[in-house]
Amino acid sequence: MAFPSRILNATKDSLELVSRELLAGGVVALPTETVYGLAAIITDEMAIKEIFNIKNRPFSDPLIVHVLGFNDLLKLTKLEDDSANLVSQLVDAFCPGPLTFVLPKAGSVSPNITASKSTLAIRIPAHKDFREVLLQTRVPLAAPSANQFGYLSPTTAEHVLNSLRGKIKYILDGGPCEIGLESTIIDIAKGQIKILRPGAITPEMLQEATGLEVIKYRQMATTDPSAPGLFKRHYSPNTKLRLFEAGQNAPKEARIAVIHMGKPDNADEHTFWLSENGDLTEASKNIFSVLRRLDQCGYDKIYCEKAPPIGLGLALNDRLNRAAAKFP
Ligand code: AMP
Ligand code: MG
């Protein structure tokens, strides 16, 4: 069924409206600090299934659940004392924020959320509007990115509208996402922190906060949906995307757009940059927006410069590699 889809400014009334819609089993798009999410309450099986249908997402790819704080996280997971202490330490250091924990799940969590896995991906988001909705629903929310499966993640309410028009009633507009890349996902086992998806919380930050060894994420050569979070191709534009190393020259042709991290000296009308001075925080915030915009410009190809492979550059390059993997 097609709905008229509305973007709502985040007023008191619209926060109440979307919270009621969620409690009635609806699916709505909400802003987070990472990317926009497509949310449903975790206690409504039909609404959870509807998330997968709307996104065209395989049921084998589990969802991230969002809660207000550590106590709610404990209710949905089953932690030994050691890992509870470590999670508590990480929550103190980075949450609310862009860090997702993969943890053994409590029996009450539906297998439809976790793709029948024994683990649950869970995070404590920082965006004030998302938190206000969580306060009002008092039920945790499952929310993957609010895009069609495989396409670039949405970082504005308009991006969501462009992808999901007619499929959802409400998109709560909380402004452009501050971080612009999906959360860092970590797995904690045997006293180690393993990064399943790099994000704004970097390996260096995790190591400094805990003193523990952090196993860095390595791109897996797989499209196997049984390895969740590790799809090699993801976040792709429709226009062919190629990457080039910093310092190399990309081809200069009229039907090719070239994206740089910072503003280059020899820019022409087909040259774009993610941040005037190459700042990686700003570049991450802009990457999906710039790719979406250029995807609609009719270019034959987009060339994008890789980020330096340190700190946030790891997450940015991960998204660029996956976006380019569709075009061998
Ligand atoms: P999205 O919310 O669309 O950014 O995607 C959530 C990511 O979390 C996906 O890549 C999932 O495969 C991953 N994920 C969710 N649950 C788990 C889990 N239990 N173990 C590993 N990865 C997970
Ligand atoms: Mg996604």
pTM (2 decimals)? 0.95
Residues 216-268: tens digit of each pLDDT: 876 554 444 444 455 666 789 999 999 999 888 888 777 999 999 999 998 99
What percent of the chain stands above pLDDT 90? 84
CA distances from 137 to 7, 35, 134, 141, 266 (A): 20, 21, 5, 9, 52
Q: Enumerate residues with CB within 5 Å of ligand 2 (an ion).
A: 145
What pLDDT shows up at residue 219? 54
The one-letter amino acid code at 97 reads: G
DSSP 120-165: EEEE----HHHHHHHHHH-S-EE--BSS-TTBPPP-SHHHHHHHHT
Which one has a higher pLDDT value, 10 or 252? 10
Residues 166-178: tens digit of each pLDDT: 999 999 999 999 9
Q: Which domains does the chain have, with CATH numbers?
A: 6-215 (3.90.870.10), 240-324 (3.40.50.11030)
At CA 189, angle to CA 72 and CA 313, rounded to 5?
85
What pLDDT shows up at residue 218? 67
197 CA distance to ligand 1 centroid (A)?
Answer: 9
What pLDDT shows up at residue 327? 82
Residues 18-36: tens digit of each pLDDT: 999 999 999 999 999 999 9
- How many residues does this entry show for the chain? 328
Over residues 94-106, the mean pLDDT reads 97
Closest-lying ligand 1 atom to the alpha carbon of residue 234: 10
The two structure tokens encoding residue 173: 């507009």
Q: What does the DSSP 8-state code read for residue 92?
A: H
C-beta of residue 284 within 8 angstroms of C-beta of residue 181? yes
Over residues 277-286, the mean pLDDT reads 97
Q: Are strands 64-66 and 214-215 parallel, antiparallel or unpaired?
A: unpaired
**Ligand 1 pocket check for 65: Cβ under 6 Å:** no
Cβ atoms within 10 Å, residue 15: 19
The two structure tokens encoding residue 150: 């495989």
Ligand nearest to the CA of 61: 1
206 CA distance to ligand 1 centroid (A)?
Answer: 19
Q: d(Cα 305, Cα 244) in Å, to the nearest integer?
A: 5
Q: Are strands 301-305 and 256-260 parallel, antiparallel or unpaired?
A: parallel
Pocket probe for ligand 1: among 63, 122, 177, the residue whose CB has the most ligand atoms within 8 Å is 63
pLDDT confidence band for 307 (50 / 70 / 90): very high
Question: What are the φ/ψ torsions at residue 35 (nearest 5 degrees)?
Answer: -140, 170
Over residues 289-314, the mean pLDDT reads 96
Over residues 126-139, the mean pLDDT reads 98
C-beta of residue 129 within 8 angstroms of C-beta of residue 172? yes
Q: d(Cα 136, Cα 159) in Å, to the nearest integer?
A: 26
Over residues 279-286, the mean pLDDT reads 98
What pLDDT shows up at residue 245? 95
64 CA distance to ligand 1 centroid (A)?
Answer: 6
111 CA distance to ligand 1 centroid (A)?
Answer: 14
269 CA distance to ligand 1 centroid (A)?
Answer: 38
Over residues 267-277, the mean pLDDT reads 95
The one-letter amino acid code at 310 reads: I
271 CA distance to ligand 1 centroid (A)?
Answer: 34
Which one has a higher pLDDT value, 322 or 226? 322
What pLDDT shows up at residue 235? 83
Nearest CA to ligand 1 atom 11: 229
C-beta of residue 65 within 8 angstroms of C-beta of residue 42? yes
pLDDT confidence band for 82 (50 / 70 / 90): confident
What pLDDT shows up at residue 190? 75
Over residues 120-132, the mean pLDDT reads 98
Closest-lying ligand 1 atom to the alpha carbon of residue 117: 19
**Ligand 1 pocket check for 114: Cβ under 6 Å:** yes
The two structure tokens encoding residue 138: 């008092």
Q: What does the DSSP 8-state code read for residue 149?
A: T
At CA 312, angle to CA 310 and CA 314, rounded to 5?
60
Mean pLDDT, the chain, as a whole number? 93
Nearest CA to ligand 1 atom 15: 62
Q: Is the pLDDT of residue 282 over 90?
A: yes
Rg (CA), the chain: 19
Over residues 155-167, the mean pLDDT reads 97
